[in-house]
Amino acid sequence: MKVKDIIRDLEKWAPPYLQESYDNSGLIVGREDWNTDGVIVALDCTEEVIDEAIEKDISLIVMHHPIVFNGLKRFNGSTYVERVVMKAIKNDIAIYAIHTNLDNVHWGVNAKIIELLGLGKHKILNPMKNSLKKISSLCSKHSRRIC
């Protein structure tokens, strides 16, 4: 399976246009045409997560929080972010973040938290402009499994 196949499915679930303007979701390290035999899913991509991917020979990490929010000016390993990115590149490990776009979908992170707390019905308090129109359009273009 290719990294792009997994990204395609993730983005059907939580489309990139739903991410906030300050966010850095998407493919942060690696290439879409790389092969992968598995995926590690994590809240944050730490050095330990990279080490696990290396140990298990997995070439894709999907995380919620982007490892890079702002541009990196140096790659000398002085911060954990630099070390994670450097180790991922050295070991051909792709890193994909699905952050605020997953927070902003009606059936995403917050819906799961509500479900786990047993709170019942819920609604989006501050929907993104035109998001419902975009979701409706997306549903008509793709299979019903995402809607």
Q: Where are the domains of the chain?
A: 3-146
Q: Say how far apart CA 61 and CA 136 lie, in whole Å.
A: 30
Does residue 19 have a pLDDT over 50? Answer: yes
Q: Between 5 and 138, where is the model more confident?
A: 5
Angle formed at CA 125 by CA 113 and CA 26, multiple of 5 degrees: 65
What the block records as the tokens of 111 is 């819906």
Does residue 131 have a pLDDT over 90? Answer: no
If you classify domain 3-146 with CATH, what class do you get?
alpha beta
Q: Say how far apart CA 45 and CA 97 lie, in whole Å.
A: 9
pTM (whole model) above 0.75: yes
